[in-house]
Amino acid sequence: MGGVGEPGEGPAPPGAPLPTFRWEQIRQHNLPGDKWLVIERRVYDISRWAQRHPGGSRLIGHHGAEDATDAFRAFHQDLNFVRKFLQPLLIGELAPEEPSQDGPQDAQLVEDFRALRQAAEDMELFEAKPAFFALLLGHILAMEVLAWLLVYLFGPGWVPSTLAALVLATSQAQCWCLQHDLGHTSVFRKSQWNHVAQQFVMGQLKGFSAHWWNFRHFQHHAKPNIFHKDPDVTVAPVFLLGESSVEYGKKKRRYLPYHRQHLYFFLIGPPLLTLVNFEVENLAYMLVCMQWTDLLWAASFYSRFFLCYAPFYGLPGALLLFVAVRVLESHWFVWITQMNHIPKEIGHEKHRDWASSQLAATCNVEPSLFIDWFSGHLNFQIEHHLFPTMPRHNYRRVAPLVKALCAKHGLNYEVKPFLTALVDIVGSLKKSGDVWLEAYLHQ
């Protein structure tokens, strides 16, 4: 075993004893262009390689100067394959006297969580059922055909058009769920098959970029509800969430009437997220990052949509139908995806272990056959965040094991009724607005 290493030594020569590092040394390497991280007690310099990371430099960079062991295991299917890419980045290992995790983390919780994951693997809970996902795709395609038949058979009147818009919005919502499964590589054994299928679902069936979605969504999973790391909660100055309420109040920042954000949320949140924010952000990402394949997939969606409906409505009418579908779909997206997160803790980086950080930012919604389908099993948000590559049809089976882990360590395993979860979104926005107002007036 080599001695205590010095910063900047570079990759260890093959066969040479590995230098050892202390956490105080590793913490110094969490800067742009200078990133180290720890996986399974080995220290890697990812400074130059981060830009080539398939999940994006931001995703891996969010774990700079941390023990990323559980994140590494959570995001990757074939660990042995991925370790081949890590080997050239290896520069040393933790000194024997150093703990595996930095800071005030519960080593027993970390150990128990890893044992739980191993138990889930032994129970084959990471194995997908092809028939389950084939049925999901089949019912999406059936809804697309049904919507067109409604207009074709009954004409472009208000009633068939309204029904068609509702069916299409439901189809689009279910597409979000299926592409989400594919993005997490939880459908096929081979990652490449998941990526190709996700491009089809996200591009041809939805008109969005799979790479754009993965870029932002994986960051959310890596650091849920953490400002400047989770794009889903980095929404200031439009909305203030969690700790940002106090910060804006103390600094006398008032770009909007934040004490009324729970009201204007209904005007600009659910109606416009996918229609405006996602459409603009998605297009900008494809152009700036030159994702030309995704752009062609997206173009195929718009071509198909307007070729199907312009003959009945004309171009302006087909555009109006498209807007109606996106607005309906946007309501589903906001309420379903945020009912598990906005009411939870939102703030700056706390450097918790994987299990604690995921549990602090998520809660579940009481399951039923309808809620499971309607939410794409995102009502099992705790299980999904702990095991993002697990096929969703296995969440019910792993849930009792997760509950037992939480009970053992005094962690909150929160489950809410569906309507309560929706109301809590508005309540959380109001609470954050009130906190802002109090800080604004009294500081």
> CA-to-CA distance for 439 and 430, rounded, in angstroms?
14
Q: Whose CA is closest to 62, among 361, 350, 381, 388? A: 350
> For residues 63 and 69, is the Cβ–Cβ distance under 8 A?
no
> CA-to-CA distance for 262 and 252, rounded, in angstroms?
20
* pLDDT at residue 2, as a whole number: 41
Beta strands in 354-426 (DSSP E): 364-365, 415-416
pLDDT in tens, 194-241: 999 999 999 999 999 999 999 999 999 999 999 999 999 989 999 999
Per-residue pLDDT of the chain (443 residues; tens, 9 = 90+): 344 555 445 666 666 788 999 999 999 999 988 999 999 999 999 999 988 888 888 999 999 999 999 999 999 988 888 888 899 999 999 999 999 888 778 899 999 999 999 999 999 999 999 999 999 999 999 999 999 999 999 999 999 999 999 999 999 999 999 999 999 999 999 999 999 999 999 999 999 999 999 999 999 999 999 999 999 998 999 999 999 999 999 998 999 999 999 999 999 888 888 888 899 999 999 999 999 999 999 999 999 999 999 999 999 999 999 999 999 999 999 999 999 999 999 999 998 999 999 999 999 999 999 999 999 999 999 999 999 999 999 999 999 999 999 999 999 999 999 999 999 999 999 999 999 999 999 86
* pLDDT at residue 63, as a whole number: 92
> CA-to-CA distance for 369 and 354, rounded, in angstroms?
30
* pLDDT at residue 55, as a whole number: 85
> CA-to-CA distance for 91 and 82, rounded, in angstroms?
17
175-179's contacts with Cβ under 8 Å and 24+ in sequence apart are 175/140, 175/201, 175/202, 175/205, 175/206, 176/206, 176/329, 176/333, 176/376, 177/136, 177/375, 177/376, 177/377, 177/378, 178/133, 178/136, 178/137, 178/140, 178/376, 179/205, 179/206, 179/210, 179/213
User: What count of other Cβ atoms lies within 10 Å of the Cβ of residue 96?
Assistant: 8
* pLDDT at residue 3, as a whole number: 46
User: What count of other Cβ atoms lies within 10 Å of the Cβ of residue 370?
Assistant: 9
CATH superfamily name and code, 20-103? Cytochrome b5-like heme/steroid binding domain (3.10.120.10)
Q: Whose CA is closest to 398, among 380, 416, 412, 415? A: 380
* pLDDT at residue 385, as a whole number: 98
C-alpha neighbours within 13 Å on the C-beta side of residue 101? 18
* pLDDT at residue 274, as a whole number: 85
State phi, psi for 411 to the nearest 5 degrees.
-95, 150
> For residues 168 and 144, is the Cβ–Cβ distance under 8 A?
yes
For 240, 287, 365, 423, the CA distances from 338, given in Å and listed in that order, are: 14, 28, 12, 11
pLDDT in tens, 123-154: 999 999 999 999 999 999 999 999 999 999 99
* pLDDT at residue 272, as a whole number: 85
Q: What residues are paired with 4 via a beta bridge?
A: 20
The owner of tokens 């395609």 is 141
* pLDDT at residue 105, as a whole number: 81
State phi, psi for 308 to the nearest 5 degrees.
-75, -35
* pLDDT at residue 34, as a whole number: 94
H or E stretch including 93? strand 90-94
Cβ-count burial of 365 within 10 angstroms (0-12 exposed, 13-18 middle, 19+ buried)? Answer: buried
Q: Whose CA is closest to 346, among 191, 226, 171, 235? A: 226
DSSP state of 243: T
Q: Whose CA is closest to 99, among 21, 195, 212, 214? A: 21
* pLDDT at residue 104, as a whole number: 75
Domain ranges (residues) in the chain:
20-103, 105-442
* pLDDT at residue 78, as a whole number: 86
Neighbour-count burial for 21-56, b at 16+ CB within 10 Å, e otherwise? bebebbeebbeeebbbbbbeebbbbbbebbeeeebb
> For residues 59 and 222, is the Cβ–Cβ distance under 8 A?
yes
What residue type is assigned to position 125 of the chain? Answer: L
The owner of tokens 């299980």 is 383
> CA-to-CA distance for 19 and 15, rounded, in angstroms?
12
